[in-house]
Amino acid sequence: MQTSVTPTHCPYCALQCGMNLTPAPEGADSVVEVVERADFPVNRGALCGKGRTAPALLSSRVRLTSPLVRNAGVLEPATWEEALARIADGLTRTRAEHGPDANGVFGGGGLTNEKAYTLGKFARVVLRTSQIDYNGRFCMSSAAAGGMKAFGLDRGLPFPLEDIPKTGCVILVGSNLAETMPPALRYLTELKENGGKLVVIDPRRTRTAEQADLHLAPRPGTDLALALGLLHLVVAEGRTDEAYIQERTSGWEEARAAAMAHWPEYVERITGVSVPELRETVRLFCEPESAMVLTARGPEQQAKGTDTVGAWINLCLATGRPGRPFSGYGCLTGQGNGQGGREHGQKADQLPGYRKLDDPAARRHVAEVWGVDPDSLPGPGRSAYELLDAMGTDIRSLLLMGSNPVISAPRAAHIEERLRSLDFLAVADVVLSETAALADVVLPVTQWAEETGTTTNLEGRVLLRRQAITPPDGVRSDLDVLHELAARLGVEKGFPTDPEEVFEELRRASAGGAADYSGITYLRLAEENGVFWPCPAPGFPEGSANAADAPLSEDAEDAEDSAFDVLPDDPARDSTERAHPGTPRLFLDRFATPDGRARFVAVTHRPLAEEPDAEYPVLLTTGRVVSQYQSGAQTRRVDELNAAAPTSFVELHPRLAERLGAADGDSLAVVSRRGRAVAPARITASIRPDTVFMPFHWPGEGRANTLTNPALDPTSRMPEFKACAVRVERAD
């Protein structure tokens, strides 16, 4: 039982807002309550309803407190011994009968860094499978791929949020901060109070768009053409920063030629955004000394998401923004630890420290930390959707932690069928999600207030979540689960259950990588409001954080060893002078490319993977509402949140409603080539007449992802969640 104030962080989105936990009054449903923590700079005490009500999930009334195993088709309570034995037997049998890659592992963007790191290590060292990915693939993988191409490094925001109000203009593309990250809206409010301009690009006039100086409402899936049209005008109006282009970039000629093929009238026909609006956007963006482009899921969750991000980055580079004060390109990561989750090994092609799995030097470094032969590490595996799609065929058993693909995956009815076709499914989660309900074994695991661990927010700020309360009897941590399973599968060492011990190993594994955490310790995180990576250990060669996959020289290896010799916490050691301060702002001197220059990437507009036609004449786009989060597995169990947003809905324009003869609240069916969803109508002029919107938090007949298109971006392997062809009809 907690007896004092515990400073920690919200379990939901990538803001990772600071909060304090104190004992709840006697008779309350939870043992703790949330109070303001004004000292944390990201939210400065502000919290949305989800963060404020987060302790409700700690109640035994809504969460799992006992392992479950399936007997005669029914999930029944079981002992931990029985549940773990069943999982070990299932994974062992699958490997023996079908080979190591028949075992799949699927993680979540809400897992702490320690859990994500251990899960990736477990897949590659214990199971020896290449088949691991995570639901963060559905979050910002296109922005990551675009950032890597342009800058040589992917970090959601290359500057802290506090820089946003200090810039001259923000173009916000495909983000509704007012509902997805409400405490962050204050940065846009302060921007305007300081005289800066806000341009919001969204096919819906959202609560965020209502704050804008200029709202552009393009047809879904045309953000790439829009960005190219803006760059065309920048060139035509002589607004490029030629000195910056010459000194800090490469590839401009090809990118410029591609943009010049997208003249304003052509772009207007594609996007529906008028030429005067295009010209006004360019004026607002180019006239101030500083400006930013921030993208989110709107432009990224497309089968051309990487190219779309690249086009917005090209606009920033051509006007000399990245690497200058209060300027540049950034991505607003969505999931709580979506950033850290892929940096340390959950992603199919990555090793800890943001190292590439197919790079020999990276494999040697991580294998040495893990005490294994580099050749024993499997190669890159399938991306998230491809992994899920292979269930029941190539992949026969799946270990899943902290994800609910029955609701969150595209073409969700198909993915549900694939899950049901598995020989064996084990799920570790806090609640009995729709996916967990299909499992052969379900393990109840600890959550945010019941454990200590680190997360990395959308700024690249590494944070310490502190344990405030003891978990209920019958509940264990994911680290305990992986430790026990590893032992049962023949690997008795290398999987500690103490999160700080795991983090110490993570530091070694990340050292010298792009996402270098080696200079970060729990002691520092307890004393500071987070530390921005890259943060190399004392004595580690400067600049190593920008040389992500370069092999270490003998001198560098010696420096690495000596650096870790001084890292254990010692009160007598004055580490203040030697400690790397972290890197709040990237690219001020050089980009993380071999020559230090940012790279333009020539891109061109192409249609959606699925354009409307006579049978499916309307576009569907999806998103979130303020009172629910992701698949809703947790927030739908909080009475206050569920009362505010109890069900899905279909948002449509009055003109479309008139054609259908539909009124507010009427039951509408939205039908795509993949299935049918039914929800009440919500009629509003704030959406384009050729578009309907559905939130994706609910199961059953209102499941929006039953409809969405799994067409994949060729680089990021991001599915095209944000636009697919549908028809809308009265459900009766």
Helix (H, G, I), strand (E, B) or coil at 455: strand
pLDDT at position 728 is: 98
CB-CB contact of 691 with 657 (8 Å) = no
The confidence band for 410, taking pLDDT boundaries of 50, 70 and 90, is very high
CB-CB contact of 362 with 510 (8 Å) = no
Computed over its alpha carbons, how large is the radius of gyration of the chain? 25
Per-residue pLDDT reduced to its tens digit, 654-674: 999 999 999 999 999 999 999
Helix (H) or strand (E) holding 247: helix 242-248
User: Measured between alpha carbons, how far is 400 from 603 in angstroms, rounded to an integer?
Assistant: 37
User: Cβ atoms within 10 A of the Cβ of 61, count?
Assistant: 10
Any idea what DSSP says for residue 395?
Answer: B
Per-residue pLDDT reduced to its tens digit, 75-92: 999 999 999 999 999 999
Helix (H, G, I), strand (E, B) or coil at 635: helix
pLDDT at position 124 is: 98
Average pLDDT over residues 334-353: 91
Q: What percent of the chain has pLDDT over 70?
A: 94
User: Measured between alpha carbons, how far is 251 from 240 in angstroms, rounded to an integer?
Assistant: 14
Helix (H, G, I), strand (E, B) or coil at 396: coil
**Which two structure tokens, joined as six digits, stand for 521?**
């310790």
Greater model confidence, 578 or 589: 589
Cα dihedral 59, 499, 9, 177, rounded to 10, equals -100
The confidence band for 578, taking pLDDT boundaries of 50, 70 and 90, is confident
Averaged pLDDT of the chain: 93
pLDDT at position 266 is: 98
**Which two structure tokens, joined as six digits, stand for 453?**
């661990």
Any idea what DSSP says for residue 721?
Answer: T
Per-residue pLDDT reduced to its tens digit, 99-112: 999 999 999 999 99
Residue type, 383: S
The confidence band for 556, taking pLDDT boundaries of 50, 70 and 90, is very low
The confidence band for 564, taking pLDDT boundaries of 50, 70 and 90, is very low
Q: Among 218, 243, 510, 200, which Cα is nearest to 351's?
A: 510
Give the sign of the dihedral formed by CA 70, CA 71, CA 73, CA 77.
negative
Domains of the chain (ranges, CATH numbers): 6-58 (2.20.25.90), 85-138+338-451+477-515 (3.40.50.740), 141-331 (3.40.228.10), 618-730 (2.40.40.20)
Q: Among 611, 604, 601, 605, which Cα is nearest to 720's?
A: 611
The confidence band for 546, taking pLDDT boundaries of 50, 70 and 90, is very low
Helix (H, G, I), strand (E, B) or coil at 391: strand
User: Measured between alpha carbons, how far is 225 from 603 in angstroms, rounded to an integer?
Assistant: 10
Task: Kindly give, in sequence order, each residue whose CB lies less than 8 Å from that of residue 488, ignoring residues fewer than 6 positions away.
Answer: 84, 85, 88
pLDDT at position 27 is: 73
CB-CB contact of 317 with 121 (8 Å) = no
Helix (H) or strand (E) holding 523: helix 522-527
pLDDT at position 553 is: 33
User: Measured between alpha carbons, how far is 313 from 428 in angstroms, rounded to an integer?
Assistant: 39
CB-CB contact of 123 with 337 (8 Å) = no
Task: Kindly give, in sequence order, each residue whose CB lies less than 8 Å from that of residue 482, ignoring residues fewer than 6 positions away.
Answer: 118, 119, 122, 495
Average pLDDT over residues 351-369: 96
Task: Kindly give, in sequence order, each residue whose CB lies less than 8 Å from that of residue 211, ignoring residues fewer than 6 positions away.
Answer: 178, 185, 188, 189, 192, 198, 200
Give phi and psi for 590, each to the nearest 5: -155, 160
Q: Residue 545: is its pLDDT beyond 80?
A: no
**Which two structure tokens, joined as six digits, stand for 631?**
């698949």
Per-residue pLDDT reduced to its tens digit, 186-198: 999 999 999 999 9
pLDDT at position 424 is: 98
User: Measured between alpha carbons, how far is 37 from 39 in angstroms, rounded to an integer?
Assistant: 6
DSSP readout, 74-132?
EEEE--HHHHHHHHHHHHHHHHHHH-GGGEEEEE-TTS-HHHHHHHHHIIIIIS--S-E
Per-residue pLDDT reduced to its tens digit, 625-645: 999 999 999 999 999 999 999
Q: Please provide the size of the chain in residues.
A: 732
Q: Residue 429: is its pLDDT beyond 80?
A: yes
Q: Residue 702: is its pLDDT beyond 50?
A: yes
Q: Residue 26: is its pLDDT beyond 90?
A: no
CB-CB contact of 335 with 280 (8 Å) = no
**Which two structure tokens, joined as six digits, stand for 44?**
């400065």
The confidence band for 300, taking pLDDT boundaries of 50, 70 and 90, is very high
User: Measured between alpha carbons, how far is 31 from 1 in angstroms, rounded to an integer?
Assistant: 8
Greater model confidence, 28 or 488: 488
174 burial level (CB within 10 Å; 0-12, 13-18, 19+):
buried
Q: Residue 543: is its pLDDT beyond 80?
A: no
